[in-house]
Chains A and B, each alone.
Chain A
Amino acid sequence: MFTFKRQMFGFMDLLRFKKMIPKRRKALEEGSSKPLAKSYRVNETAHVLHPGYQKAKLVAIREETSDTKTFTFETERPLYFRAGQYVTLSCNVGGSFVSRPYAISSAPAAALDNRVNITVKKCGFFSGYLCDEAKEGDVFTLGDPSGDFCYDGVRDSKTVVGVAGGSGITPFYSLAQAIADGSEDCSLVLFYGARTEKDLAFKTELDALAGEKIKVVYVLSDEVCAGYEHGFVSAELIKKYVSDDFTLMACGPEAMYRFLDGEAEKLALPRRRFRKEANCVGVRDVKPADCSITVHIGFETYTVKADVRETVLTALERAGLRVPSKCRAGGCGFCHSRLVSGEFSIAGEDKRRLADAKFGYFHPCCSYPDADMEIEVPKMK
């Protein structure tokens, strides 16, 4: 082994080593006495981009079509999002804690002024409550803007072909507004499918936004009407309006996705050029049966009844437990919970992280109980 020395004989090097402590001690003593910051700019911006759960007051309700309404909320804090994202809206309905993700239909810029719109078609339990019973002044809980159903300038073609089925128009209406006000830099050819002309929401607004960067093609399935395309959004119809490279973004019911899968194949679209927004997991088609779920949340333990046809998340919410959820489609991982014992089945594809399966974690939003379960769920923060 050689002898390291930087200065003559290495003696000064030793001395220098000894001085490190007094030097650091002095530097610490000489730090500023000004109070430590309570917050930091980057963290504050992060809090606008990801505001967490907050109270939101319903301030306006507007009827778009006979079964579709737009609800305007005033939030406690400003927030910002990317057009195409959803928020989770929740409240207590008859002793149950209910939450659902809805795509934001207003422009990102409006959220900075504490205004968020969602547009809801009456078709289920919570949408029914919203459309029939919610009134101005009611206070809800609003979650973080979430989801990846957004245009990405690095990944996507400059031309977005949007296919909207029914209330699937909402993210595209937000995107169209964002393109118009310059916050998104792409062009949009929007195929908006509905049964009849009367079922088209935002038609006046979309027509007003149409121009160089936004084109809207209305496609009616149950009606033949001048100025409208008829039928479904097919490969042929897309080719009629778009010739260059494009990214296909679709939001609508599962039946529409199944049809579009075939059309995308005809268009020879690579996987990276076709994006679908996930739909909420519903009930499963099995014989009804009851089971029981023991739930640990924080330091508390509860036992709730569950129906094997419904997801674990639904069982918890039915029992009035406030638990975290976002996408309700198994993908976002926000409801990440631990299985202590029991068995469950996952709806569709397993979207968990690899290690989750290994260590017994699961997503209650897309998992059905197969028998009694004991689980640990993080509290809703």
Chain B
Amino acid sequence: MKQYDAVVIGAGNGGLTAAIRLAQGGAKVLLVEKHNLPGGFATSFRRGRFEFEASLHELNDFGTPDNAGDVRVLFDELGVTDKIEWFPIPDAYRVISQAEKIDATMPFGVDAFVEKMERYVPGSRKSVRRFFDLAEEVRLAQAYSNSVGGKTDPKYMVEHYGNFVRCGSYSVNEVLRALHMPKRAREILGAYWCYLGAHLDDMSFAHYASMVNRYILRGAMSPKSRSHEISLAMVERIRELGGDVLMNTAAVSILTGDDGVRGVVLDDGTEIATRHVVANCSPHVVYGQLIENVPERIVRATNARKFSGRGFTMFLGLDKSADELGIENHNYFLYDTMDSVAQYDKMRTIEENSVQATVCLNRAQPDCSPEGTCMMYFTTLYMEDDWARIKPQAYFKAKEFVANRMIDRFEKDTGAKIRDHIEEISVATPMTYARYCGHPQGVIYGYESQYWDGLMPRLQMMGEDYKNGIRGLRFASGWSMRLSGYSSAYFAGDIAGRQTVGDIKREG
């Protein structure tokens, strides 16, 4: 029987990172992925003369070699930074809500962001500045928490990160109001919320502030050959470190006994002996489909969680340049209302949802498609399972309905004209995400950052969650302790990988 120190199930961002960490820690590691490509959402696909990015809008907190963000530091440690070519994203975002007469384009850089906000919302400077002060403390406190594996010393926390502790239990809206930030500034600052998929009454401030800070502080970068480049670089790194990687290979069960994990069965019946698994998939799938006789305590803890948004993305290859079509920016958020609670409520059904986060890649990377063309991505989320009622026969028309509405909205909100220049189109729905990544109902953001299940308690309970789970089983993905998003998933893989190295030493 094949034997490994650890098996990583799923080659998404978390699994790839965890596998590198395991191999670096001296473990004999096997990474299995059921799809034929690594990366999970971090991949690309070709249509005609275009190569579309599957999911990455921009990677935050990367920075430059002299001003490295946490993600770059991690990539340096993993040994993959130099395998990838990077380009910078020009502006943070443009947010438009026609109904509420908002149209704001926000820059990267804290000073520039604060000043631009002051121009849009006079009198906002002090509170926005304080938001970034708090956000930076959140980042530092997280770095401390990571460095001690979540086992933070409460006294040390209060002494060094007092503001963080005092704001850490609140939602975004609660903190922004406590900072006396003017309403309009709160709305503009809150525009990133749909990237995290929970409205701002629910989403923990620490989570949101951490992400906004990571974007604005050091700007964002992207890989030149789409996120597929990152994924292939990581696979190459795993191999350099002696790890084994198998594509088109699903794990169909995790074998457990009185002493936790004892093996993994692959889809061709191969049994792998191992005492450690890092699952780059949802606890719902792992406990619902891969493990027999799951203890009731785990069933309850899993059922308690709430699925976050189900993804939908339209990809367009256009036969004119962004200039010719009047597409001005790289990244747009188009909302009906800036009230995230009301907006969230309108994102439950196919009929009602018309929110979109839209990207024109050529505005950041002009040569990403042939001269005289450009590429766009339009993404939205569904907060309930409305797609579950779509039968196969109605599927293509449902896709078309949403695609048309996205195009209409983009044209109406921005004045650009794109409809008559579509050379390639591809539409990914919750079914597509369910198919490629196996997530229940096509969820793309893991468990929602609910009020009680936000970033801070998840991080603080990492040890407890592991103890209450199954010995030898850890999770590394958007479903786990760092919540969703590219950098979060890389960090989750980093944490789970390093922790498993420790487990192997401790537990054998």
Contacts and interface: CB of A to CB of B under 8 A. Distances in A.
Contacts of A173: none
A109 to B, nearest CB: 7
B229 interface: yes
A353 B389 CA distance: 35
B270 A1 contact: no
Nearest to B430: A42
Nearest to B387: A42
Given A31-B300, A353-B46, A36 B442 contact: no
Interface stretch (A4-12, A94-102, A201-209, A259-267): A4-12
A46 interface: yes
Contact of B440 (A30, A37, A270, A298): A37
A42 B392 contact: no
Interface in A244-278: 270-272
B258 interface: no
A49 B392 contact: yes
Given A3-B163, A4-B178, A148 B457 contact: no
Contacts of B82: none
A125 interface: no
A108 B395 CA distance: 12
A23 B294 CA distance: 24
B302 interface: yes
Interface in A112-154: 112, 148, 152-154
A353 B44 contact: yes
Contact of A379 (B236, B248, B395, B457): B248
Given A33-B296, A42-B430, A299 B232 contact: no
A133 B461 CA distance: 64
Interface in B210-237: 223-226, 228-229, 232-233, 235-236
A interface, over-half SS: loop
A381 interface: yes
Contact of A20 (B169, B393, B431): B169
A298 B440 CA distance: 28
A35 B288 CA distance: 8
A27 B453 contact: yes
Interface in B145-182: 154, 158, 162-163, 165-170, 174-175, 178-179
B229 A354 contact: yes
A183 B169 contact: no
B99 interface: no
A46 B430 CA distance: 9
Contact of A358 (B158, B162, B168, B229): B229
B441 A24 contact: no
Interface stretch (A58-66, A234-242, A281-289, A330-338): A330-338
Contacts of A18: 154
A226 interface: no
Give the bracket for the number of chain A residues in contact with chain B: 35 or more
A80 B392 contact: yes
Given A14-B165, A45-B392, A82-B396, A353 B228 contact: yes
Contact of B288 (A36, A271, A352, A354): A36
A49 B284 contact: no
Contacts of A43: 431, 434-435, 438, 440-442
B101 interface: no
Interface stretch (B273-281, B345-353, B417-425, B486-494): B417-425
A355 B226 contact: yes
Interface in B254-309: 267-268, 270, 284, 287-289, 294, 296-297, 299-305
B393 A112 contact: yes
A45 B395 contact: yes
Contact of B303 (A4, A33, A336): A33
B249 A378 contact: yes
B73 to A, nearest CB: 23
Contacts of B178: 4-6
A16 B300 contact: no
B299 A351 contact: no
B390 interface: yes
A153 B396 CA distance: 9
B387 A6 contact: no
Contacts, number: 252
Nearest to B456: A20
A359 B133 contact: no
B457 A361 contact: no
Interface in A16-41: 16-21, 23-25, 27-41
Contacts of A25: 461, 464
A381 B288 contact: no
Given A13-B166, A36-B287, A43-B440, A354 B302 contact: no
A299 B267 CA distance: 13
B403 interface: yes
Given A4-B134, A4-B178, A50-B435, A324 B388 contact: no
B319 A272 contact: yes
B457 A299 contact: no
A224 interface: no
B411 interface: no
A223 interface: no
B457 A353 contact: no
Contacts of B404: 153-154
Nearest to A352: B46
Contact of A38 (B163, B229, B289, B431): B289
B130 interface: yes
A2 B166 contact: no
A155 B442 CA distance: 25
B400 interface: yes
A27 to B, nearest CB: 5
A31 B387 contact: no
Given A45-B431, A356-B232, A13 B167 contact: yes
B195 interface: no
A336 B37 contact: yes
Contacts of A32: 299-300, 303-304
B505 interface: no
A48 interface: yes
A379 B268 contact: yes
B68 interface: no
Given A4-B163, A4-B166, A299 B2 contact: yes
Contacts of A93: none
Contact of A324 (B229, B248, B300, B461): B248
A208 to B, nearest CB: 23
A353 B45 CA distance: 7
Contacts of B297: 29
A356 B51 CA distance: 12
B162 A3 contact: yes
Interface in B27-45: 34, 36-37, 44-45
Interface of A: 1-6, 10, 13-14, 16-21, 23-25, 27-43, 45-50, 80, 82, 108-109, 112, 148, 152-155, 183, 185, 270-272, 298-299, 324, 331, 333-334, 336, 351-356, 358-359, 361, 378-381
21 contacts: A3-B162, A4-B130, A13-B165, A14-B165, A18-B154, A20-B456, A28-B304, A29-B301, A31-B300, A31-B302, A42-B434, A80-B392, A82-B396, A154-B422, A155-B424, A298-B249, A298-B270, A352-B46, A353-B51, A355-B232, A358-B232
Interface of B: 2, 34, 36-37, 44-47, 51, 130, 133-134, 154, 158, 162-163, 165-170, 174-175, 178-179, 223-226, 228-229, 232-233, 235-236, 246-250, 267-268, 270, 284, 287-289, 294, 296-297, 299-305, 310, 319, 385, 387-393, 395-397, 400, 403-404, 407, 421-426, 430-432, 434-435, 438, 440-442, 452-454, 456-458, 460-461, 464, 468
Given A13-B165, A24-B461, A354-B228, 10 more contacts: A24-B458, A31-B304, A33-B300, A38-B288, A41-B441, A42-B434, A42-B441, A49-B431, A354-B225, A378-B246
Name the 8 nearest CB pairs between A and B, nearest first: A31-B304, A36-B288, A41-B388, A378-B248, A13-B166, A272-B423, A80-B392, A354-B225
